[in-house]
Copies of this chain bind each other. A is one copy, B any other.
Amino acid sequence: MRLAELSERSGLPTATIKYYLREQLLPPGVLVSAKQADYGEEHLRRLRLVRALIQIGRMPIATAREVLTAIDDENLDQNDRLGVAVGALPPGLTRPDQDDRATAAARREADLLLDSLGWEDCAEASSGPYRALVAALAALAALGYPHDLDHLLPYAQQATRLAAHDLDMIQECEGPSEQIEAAVALTVLYEPVLLSLRRLAHARESALRHGTRATGRSTA
């Protein structure tokens, strides 16, 4: 496809695509004349990833280029490419785009999820976590990544188990004020624990499945 079609199908202005080409975030197309290049589905897919990293993840251009270089490094095996690419992601890339046009649709999806969990009374539309969930779903939808109930429910189930564990931990504190203080502090302090363990678990699970790095004891 030509640049105009790539722009239309990706929803990105041609100027943005040209900028990504200059910054080597997108590989060049195949030249068909001195001034025209042809792009394939892999360019469309790569643009989607670049948007996830830069527009949603707010990653600096240089860091995104580093991640993409690791993805494309054919001298590494699959598991190492994954390890280097995910390892290059900065921690806490969690500032979803608030101004997405797909917000209304995402709100309906969030409500469907909360309804099916029986949580609809715990999530006021103005609350921070609810708005963060809607923004994250809007980002997933805008970029065409999976975000249906089948994919979201396991997240909600693990979050439920963690919440029960967190509340047990909080109830070890005596007195109502102590408990509220602990809840606030542990909400903040355990978020990086959770995100880093998820990334380490990815590395472990990937090594188990692809069988190239996990030489240690098995947890099975």
Contacts and interface: CB of A to CB of B under 8 A. Distances in A.
Interface string A120-146: 111100011110110111011001011
- Interface residue SS majority, chain A: helix
B192 A194 contact: no
A206 to B, nearest CB: 6
A130 B200 contact: yes
Contacts of A93: 188, 191
A196 B49 contact: no
Interface of A: 42, 45-46, 48-49, 52-53, 56-57, 67, 71-72, 78, 81-82, 85-96, 114, 117-123, 127-130, 132-133, 135-137, 139-140, 143, 145-146, 151-152, 154-156, 158-167, 169, 172, 176-207, 209, 213-219
Given A89-B128, A145-B185, A160-B205, A194 B193 contact: no
Given A181-B45, A183-B202, A132 B195 contact: yes
User: Closest 9 A-B residue pairs measured CB to CB?
Assistant: A163-B201, A129-B199, A92-B94, A159-B197, A136-B192, A132-B196, A133-B196, A118-B217, A121-B216
Contact of A81 (B49, B72, B180, B186): B180
B133 A188 contact: no
A215 B120 CA distance: 9
A163 B94 contact: no
A177 to B, nearest CB: 7
A164 B219 CA distance: 13
A39 to B, nearest CB: 16
A171 to B, nearest CB: 8
Contacts of A160: 201, 204-205, 219
Most buried by B among A121, A154, A166, A196: A196
A162 B158 contact: yes
